[in-house]
């Protein structure tokens, strides 16, 4: 399975994080050492987690403002990962509202990678969490049937901007709006 297959397979699964759960509705695939848009394209201390075991959580701070969560898919020498871009809160909605603010509509509580991480209470403390266990942060089972999936270019990347490695559940209202990077 390559990273795009893993990305598609994550759609519809539930990501549990600190007493809140979100059904994954949008993802982006990053091909590690073979993908100039990936943090692992150049190996650094920050991207080292991507070269480790699959099914670990890679959390990083984006623009110094918010956290983003990725699922490392491997293989280890490739360092591929999938960014979780959006989800539908399916459990713990009151806590998600408290983390995101009372004025945010339910449909937008986990729309966008920073908002999703905030709604789930994810931080750098969760970096490296094994997601197939029973930790406070873990990944639920595959959905009983695969959802209809749409694809398009990734959001906000300046390199490999046209690569259609963004996947989302077709027609889902929690999916974020596409924004091409002005540097692309």
Output the tens digit of pLDDT for each of the chain's 184 residues. 799 999 999 999 999 999 999 999 999 999 988 989 888 888 888 889 999 999 999 999 987 789 999 999 988 889 999 999 999 999 999 999 999 998 999 999 999 999 999 999 999 999 999 999 888 999 999 999 989 999 999 988 888 988 999 999 999 999 988 776 666 5
Cα→Cα distances 24→48, 116, 152, 172, Å: 25, 10, 17, 10
Q: How confident is the model at residue 8, as a pLDDT?
A: 97
Q: How confident is the model at residue 103, as a pLDDT?
A: 93
The residues that bridge with 67 in the sheet, in sequence order, are 61
The terminus-to-terminus CA distance of the chain in angstroms comes to 29
The Cα 47–Cα 75 span in angstroms is 14
Q: How confident is the model at residue 182, as a pLDDT?
A: 61
Q: How confident is the model at residue 30, as a pLDDT?
A: 93
* Contact indicator for 138, 132 with CB cutoff of 8 Å: yes
Flag whether the pTM goes above 0.85: yes
DSSP 27: E
Residues 6+ apart with CB under 8 A from 74: 53, 54, 80
Q: How confident is the model at residue 184, as a pLDDT?
A: 55
The Cα 109–Cα 100 span in angstroms is 7
Q: How confident is the model at residue 181, as a pLDDT?
A: 61
The Cα 1–Cα 46 span in angstroms is 25
């Amino acid at each position: 399975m390559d990273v795009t297959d893993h990305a598609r397979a994550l759609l519809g699964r539930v990501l549990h994080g600190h007493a809140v759960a979100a059904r994954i509705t949008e993802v982006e695939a990053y091909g590690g050492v073979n993908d100039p848009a990936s943090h692992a394209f150049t190996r650094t201390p920050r991207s080292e987690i991507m070269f480790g075991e699959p099914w670990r959580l890679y959390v990083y701070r984006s623009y110094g403002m918010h956290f983003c969560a990725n699922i490392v898919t491997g293989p280890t020498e490739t360092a591929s990962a999938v960014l979780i871009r959006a989800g539908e809160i399916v459990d713990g909605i009151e806590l998600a509202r408290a983390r995101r603010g009372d004025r945010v509509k339910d449909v937008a509580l986990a729309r966008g990678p920073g908002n999703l991480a905030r709604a789930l209470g994810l931080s750098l403390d969760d970096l490296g969490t094994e997601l197939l266990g029973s930790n406070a942060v873990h990944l639920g089972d595959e959905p009983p049937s695969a959802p209809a999936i749409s694809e398009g270019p990734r959001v906000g990347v300046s390199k490999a901007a046209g690569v259609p490695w963004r996947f989302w559940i077709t027609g889902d209202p929690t999916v974020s709006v596409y924004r091409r990077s002005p540097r692309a």
